[in-house]
């Protein structure tokens, strides 16, 4: 067997290493996630200067499990078997050496059939206001169970964020629990949702099988640390809840926005 076959490719490694993203860095960074604050109403959200990445999706889509998997923490986001337990906006700070350089926002799950029309409308307003007016919102991760596909409320959300996506807001759809699909169905789901999520990136994701974990971590890192415009690293006010409401806030009560026993 020849021992010289790898010489050429090895010679190019130092150059490549400088440009190839290292998911270990992204995963290490995500592991620094710490609970920052919870806001039962939009007006209680602190004003934050660093990039914010919001996780949204139907209840039971696998959002809490996804956040826990990405941050490698068992109970950072409360993964409940009871749909609707997470009904506030939860913020988690990210950053090494105590310097917050990004924030994850875990938004309440939506989509209970039992919710009256009025509450659904209220949810749309609260989410709409957040998604349309949150100044530091840099990216949105929409989680979707591919066995259900994008539902009407997901479509509403897509409509709401479309203008901001056109203005540069990053947007990723994660088809969760991909371990439950065979290859053919996964490819089909990917194709369909890609068509629906015009302009957005779509990926298969499984917390169970760890499919897509490092790729998504890299996305989050890249969004929070854009090459073209380095992100400053100001410290988030330690007593975030004491920070005054941002002027763009509007009244809203997420507790009443999603209540009901079933995820369908
Ligand atoms: P949330 O309501 O969107 O926060 O959803 P959860 O994270 O609580 O997950 C809802 C259910 O889906 C739970 O029973 C999880 O164990 C399950 N689940 C989440 N992620 C996966 C996954 O990657 N694979 C499988 N098979 N089940 C998952």
64 lines ligand 1 (CB under 6 A): yes
pLDDT tens profile 15-63: 444 456 788 999 999 999 999 998 877 788 999 999 999 999 998 999 9
109 lines ligand 1 (CB under 6 A): yes
Distances 243 to 37, 40, 239, 246 between C-alpha atoms, Å: 11, 15, 7, 9
71 lines ligand 1 (CB under 6 A): no
> What's the average model confidence in pLDDT over 216-240?
69
**How many whole angstroms from 176 Cα to the centroid of ligand 1?**
8
Q: How far is 244 from 60, CA to CA, in rounded Å?
A: 32
Q: Is 3 helix (H, G, I), strand (E, B) or coil?
A: coil
For strands 201-204 and 170-175, give the pairing.
parallel
Q: Which atom of ligand 1 is nearest to the CA of 208?
A: 23
**How many whole angstroms from 62 Cα to the centroid of ligand 1?**
4
pTM over 0.95? The answer is no
pLDDT tens profile 198-220: 778 999 999 999 999 999 999 99
pLDDT tens profile 131-162: 999 999 999 999 999 999 999 889 988 988 99
At residue 130, what are phi and psi to the nearest 5 degrees? -60, -50
CA nearest to 149, candidates 181, 183, 125: 181
90 lines ligand 1 (CB under 6 A): no
**How many whole angstroms from 181 Cα to the centroid of ligand 1?**
14
Q: Is 197 helix (H, G, I), strand (E, B) or coil?
A: coil
């Amino acid at each position: 067997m020849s021992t010289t076959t790898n010489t050429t490719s090895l010679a190019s490694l130092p150059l490549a290493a400088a440009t190839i993203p290292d998911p270990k860095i992204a995963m290490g960074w995500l592991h620094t996630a710490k609970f920052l604050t919870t806001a039962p109403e939009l007006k209680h959200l602190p004003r934050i200067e660093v990039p914010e990445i919001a996780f949204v999706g139907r209840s039971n889509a696998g959002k809490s499990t996804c956040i826990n998997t990405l941050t490698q923490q068992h109970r950072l986001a409360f993964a409940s078997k009871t749909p609707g337990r997470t009904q506030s906006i939860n913020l988690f700070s990210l950053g090494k050496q105590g310097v917050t350089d990004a924030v994850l926002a875990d938004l309440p799950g939506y989509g209970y059939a039992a919710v009256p029309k009025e509450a659904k409308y209220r949810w749309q307003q609260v989410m709409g206001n957040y998604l349309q007016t949150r100044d530091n919102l840099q990216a949105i991760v929409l989680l979707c169970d591919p066995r259900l596909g994008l539902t009407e409320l997901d479509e509403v959300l897509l409509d709401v964020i479309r203008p901001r996506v056109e203005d540069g807001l990053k947007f990723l759809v994660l088809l969760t629990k991909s371990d439950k699909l065979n290859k053919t169905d996964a490819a089909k789901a990917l194709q369909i949702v890609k068509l629906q999520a015009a302009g957005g990136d779509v990926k298969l994701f499984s917390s169970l099988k760890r499919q897509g974990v490092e790729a998504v971590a890299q996305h989050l890192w890249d969004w929070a640390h854009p090459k073209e415009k380095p992100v400053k690293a100001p410290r988030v006010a330690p007593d975030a809840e004491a920070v005054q409401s941002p002027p763009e806030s509007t009244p809203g009560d997420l507790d009443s926005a999603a209540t009901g026993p079933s995820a369908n």
